[in-house]
Amino acid sequence: MRHSIKTIISLLKTETRMTAVALACIALFVGCSFAPPYTKPGIQTPAAFKELTPAQFQEADGWKTAEPKDAIIRGQWWEMFHEPELNAFENQVTISNQSVAVAVANFLAARAVVKQSRSQYFPTVTTTPSVTRSRGSLGGTQSSPSSTTSPITEYSLPFDVSWELDFWGRIRNTVKANSLEAQATLADLENVRLVIQAEVAVDYFQLRVLDMQKQLLDASVLAYQESLKLTQVQYDTGIASGQDVEQAETQLEITRAQATDLGVLRAQFEHTIAMLLGKPASSFSIATNSLAATPIAIPFGVPSQLLERRPDIAAAERRVAEANAQIGVARAAYFPTVTLSGAVGYQSTSLGNLFSGPSLVWSVGATMAQTLFDAGKRKAVTEQARAIYQGTVANYRQTVLTAFQEVEDNLSTLRILSEELQQQNTAVESSQRYLTLANDRYKSGLDSYLNVITAQTTLLSNQRTAMNLRMQQMTASVQLIKALGGGWDVSRRTTETIP
């Protein structure tokens, strides 16, 4: 047994030397790769965003150019709005949202594929132990009379080694392509998180504006009840007509119905938030409260920074590099596959002598496989790889153009809404004065109650419009942060850890 162990150790040392020699051979060919040299596709980026002229910097609010100490949006960007309840919801997205869970699983699967492809760098070692009992033929021939053949038991313990030499870069480019796909999948994960987080923030702000509108309508209902009482008293004393009473009651019931109707949309937003947080809608509720957040100054930087700050752009660029590496995999098929193989083990008809020196068997060799004719298959595969590369380049450029559009859209929205909201607030103040005058003239008997109702409707409509504009401002602020990539940057793109 000691002899056999020494023999195995000696063979392992021999195999180690062979491995070292093979690695040295591969090192000589390490520069042999048929993937084209990769360069990031060129993108024409403007020097500044169209919506950001120097005059607009001073006139509009809700956004600003990035300053040296505030060049990017921080990771937990939603904390900029100072809404504790929103902060709690956002922190649950990564934990409970099922779309994020799917993206995490996709990344883990992509990283496992990288590990699978890297295994091709090393030899494959297998063993197939066997015990075979057999007996030869009992029949005789004319020259050899029939004889009895005893059964034979044969024991075998082989170890087989196979190793494909990566002369043409097929394995290296496969590993590279899979690593790039894993990086793209990680960027996809970050993009899913950003999209869900932005959706939670938008739905939350819309829900809070509905709460504010409900409070406004409830207050209006109380005011209209007092007006109805006053009109009823005037009718009883002969000052007002029955028509005035009916108009006041109609106004009251319409407003009450509007307040009730808001409950439908609010319930839907509440259910949507529950779904985004990975919770059943039936067990989730949000208490009524007003919106405390206001538009904030958002640092946006320059257009070229979008290429570093948006995870969807990073994912698209990584897939361009992946498609480039796949061209090298396709082109390597034109050249022969060289495989080193070897076997060592023991074979004996006696279990006691299995590990003895005479029972040792071994073999070593190399094979080369080359396709001589495939009716143009390899050429077609290479053409397909090149076409896929061109498609990923176009997709990358389209993603960048879409990013520029989204930023410009939300910057223009914030700028225009800022002006419109100022005008709407002026309209609210004017309609409030109009209602005061209408009430005074009605009480003095100069005008009918219809003028009061008109003034009340105008004021309520302007107040609700102002609230809707504020909601649009908050939504545009969130969408602008999302368009700028949130708190993500390209330095976080790695396949080793999950943020």
Is the domain of 209 the same as that of 89?
yes
- CATH code: domain of residue 286: 1.20.1600.10
Nearest partner of 469 among 410, 415, 420, judged by Cα? 420
Q: Is 136 within a domain? A: no
Per-residue pLDDT at 92:
94
Per-residue pLDDT at 15:
46
Residue 12 has pLDDT above 70, yes or no: no
Mean pLDDT of 8-22: 48
Is the domain of 204 the same as that of 235?
yes
Mean pLDDT of 64-70: 45
Residue 68 has pLDDT above 70, yes or no: no
Is the domain of 350 the same as that of 463?
no
Is the domain of 350 the same as that of 471?
no
Q: Is 159 within a domain? A: no
Nearest partner of 42 among 420, 356, 396, 282, judged by Cα? 396
Is the domain of 327 the same as that of 279?
yes
Domain end residue (candidates: 325, 353, 369) = 369
Confidence of residue 299 (pLDDT cuts 50, 70, 90): confident
- How many structural domains is the chain composed of? 2
Q: Is 154 within a domain? A: no
Is the domain of 49 the same as that of 108?
yes
The parent domain of residue 214 ranges over 32-131+166-335+377-492
Is the domain of 365 the same as that of 320?
no
Residue 165 has pLDDT above 50, yes or no: yes
Q: Is 149 within a domain? A: no
Q: Is 152 within a domain? A: no
Predicted confidence (pLDDT) per residue in 376-425, tens digit: 999 999 999 999 999 999 999 999 999 999 999 999 999 899 999 999 99
Q: Is 321 within a domain? A: yes
Predicted confidence (pLDDT) per residue in 430-460, tens digit: 999 999 999 888 888 788 888 888 999 999 9
Q: Is 234 within a domain? A: yes
Is the domain of 56 the same as that of 123?
yes
Q: Point out the least confidently predicted range of 5-19, 192-206, 436-450.
A: 5-19
Residue 181 has pLDDT above 70, yes or no: yes
Is the domain of 343 the same as that of 427?
no
Half-sphere exposure in the Cβ direction for 146 (13 Å, CA): 3
Is the domain of 229 the same as that of 92?
yes
Is the domain of 220 the same as that of 233?
yes
Confidence of residue 154 (pLDDT cuts 50, 70, 90): confident
Is the domain of 445 the same as that of 459?
yes
- Whole-number percent of the chain with pLDDT over 70: 84
Residue 370 has pLDDT above 80, yes or no: yes
Q: Is 17 within a domain? A: yes
Mean pLDDT of 138-146: 56
Predicted confidence (pLDDT) per residue in 226-243, tens digit: 888 988 888 888 877 888
